[in-house]
Amino acid sequence: MKILIKIVTVLSAIFALSGCNSDNKTTASVSLSKNFEKNISMVTNKAYVIKKGDIIEKVSNNPEFKMSSNLATGETIVTLLSGEASIIRK
Half-sphere exposure of 9 toward its Cβ, with a 13 Å CA cutoff? 6
C-alpha to C-alpha distance for 9 and 69, rounded to whole angstroms: 48
pLDDT tens digits, residue range 55-82?
999 998 889 999 998 888 888 999 999 9
Give the whole-number percent of the chain exceeding pLDDT 70: 66
Q: Provide the pLDDT for residue 83.
A: 93
For residues 46 and 24, which has the higher predicted lDDT (pLDDT)?
A: 46
DSSP structure string for 36-78: --SEEE--BT-EEEE-TT-EEEESSSS-EEEEEEETTTTEEEE
Ramachandran bin of 25, using left for φ above 0, alpha for ψ from -120 to 50, beta for the remaining angles? alpha
Q: Provide the pLDDT for residue 32.
A: 44
pTM of the model: 0.55
